[in-house]
Amino acid sequence: MHFSLRQLQIFEAVARNLSYTRAAEELHLTQPAVFAQVKQLEEGVDMPLIERTGKQLHLTEAGREVLATCREALDATARLEMRLADMRGLKRGRLRLAVVTTAEYLVPRLLGEFCARHPGIEASLVVTNREKLLVRLAENADDLTVLGAPPENLDVVARPIADNPLVVLARRDHPLAGEGHIPLARLAEEPFILRESGSGTRLATERHFARHGLSIRVRMELGSNEAIKQAVAGGLGISVLSAHTMALEGASGVLAPLAAEGFPLMRKWYLAYPAGKHLSAVAEAFQEYLLRRGVSADETGAPASARG
Ligand code: PGA
């Protein structure tokens, strides 16, 4: 079999119009040129594709087969053209990311590395808590989203990109600081400083205690991880935060993780977007970059007990 994409294109126009003349007009060719191309295609496949009864053109059975495949081939070519145009866009392009508050300790660094490789890309990053992020995800407001657990009520594609261990944090001179295997019930007696409701960290913490039939004594609610660390350092209570929030603190800081039962609570970071969304080449490339790069336990600030 011998034929070109151009011949398929011309045949498709003739088969759709059932007219050489109209196909020629549509393609800005002469009628004899169109006729000659269809003839060559018929020779190439070694079967008649179009028959004439009186003035009316008809597709033969082989013609209908060729037409169906023609359309698939032309669709695939159009998709290829779009993707190639997108890839050329990697030289320029925009990337709109939205991440949950706590992911701000991880994602900007990864984004920085990616942008250093593709200096023409303009990136924007929205940082907000889980509840607000889910609204953005439902509205398809961003190219990609990073969050702590895939949403339960939204149809999304979600891929894990890194570990997100949650640790119990106390001031280093806290009476429980040196102890091992602190029962969860003992922990529940302590005053807690928690993130605002709507925070994924808070939700995961409360669920963990609830699974053990316990509830948390909330002494204070703060809308920022950094503010919580300051409040813990100030001796106002203990908290549960992502180990990422400690990544830059060092081992001898004012805060120390407690060896509490069930902690670190192992969660993951997910990269997500609405199911069926067509990712731009830039978004696709960033996703690929994250999946290929991986994130080590050192980078997540995970305590030694959480490392595999
Ligand atoms: P948060 O989310 O910053 O809203 O607490 C983090 C998470 O979902 O783990």
CB 288 within 8 A of CB 144: no
Which CATH architecture best describes the domain 5-76?
Answer: Orthogonal Bundle (1.10)
pLDDT at 114: 95
The full length of the chain comes to: 308
Distance 127 CA to ligand 1 centre (A): 10
pLDDT at 308: 42
With a Cβ cut-off of 6 Å, ligand 1 is lined by 100-102, 129-130, 147-148, 164, 195, 199-201, 267
pLDDT at 281: 85
State which ligand 1 atom lies nearest to the alpha carbon of 164. 9
HSE value, Cβ hemisphere, 13 Å, CA-based, for 236: 17
Distance 156 CA to ligand 1 centre (A): 18
Distance 272 CA to ligand 1 centre (A): 14
- Distance, in Å, from the CA atom of 233 to the CA atom of 304, rounded to the nearest integer, reads 22
Question: Which residues are registered as beta bridge partners of 123?
Answer: 95
Whole-model pTM above 0.85?
no
Mutate to test the pocket of ligand 1, among 125, 129, 146 (most ligand atoms within 8 A of CB): 129
Considering only the top CATH level, what class is 91-162+268-307?
alpha beta
State which ligand 1 atom lies nearest to the alpha carbon of 129. 4
Distance 285 CA to ligand 1 centre (A): 25
Distance 122 CA to ligand 1 centre (A): 25
pLDDT at 82: 65
State which ligand 1 atom lies nearest to the alpha carbon of 147. 8
Q: Dig out the tokens for 279 from the structure.
A: 């990712």
Mutate to test the pocket of ligand 1, among 99, 100, 135 (most ligand atoms within 8 A of CB): 100
Domain ranges of the chain: 5-76, 91-162+268-307, 164-267
- Distance, in Å, from the CA atom of 297 to the CA atom of 256, rounded to the nearest integer, reads 18
End-to-end CA separation in angstroms for the chain = 57
pLDDT at 89: 67
Distance 107 CA to ligand 1 centre (A): 13
Superfamily grouping for domain 164-267? Periplasmic binding protein-like II (3.40.190.10)
Mutate to test the pocket of ligand 1, among 133, 194, 239, 242 (most ligand atoms within 8 A of CB): 242
- Please indicate whether the domains covering 5-76 and 164-267 agree at the CATH topology level: no
pLDDT at 80: 80
Distance 273 CA to ligand 1 centre (A): 17
Mutate to test the pocket of ligand 1, among 145, 152, 199 (most ligand atoms within 8 A of CB): 199
Distance 123 CA to ligand 1 centre (A): 22
Alpha-carbon torsion angle 69, 73, 75, 81, nearest 10:
180
CB 191 within 8 A of CB 217: yes
Segments in the chain below pLDDT 70: 82, 85-87, 89, 250-251, 300-308
Q: Three-state secondary structure along 51-68?
A: EEECCEEEECHHHHHHHH
HSE value, Cβ hemisphere, 13 Å, CA-based, for 2: 6
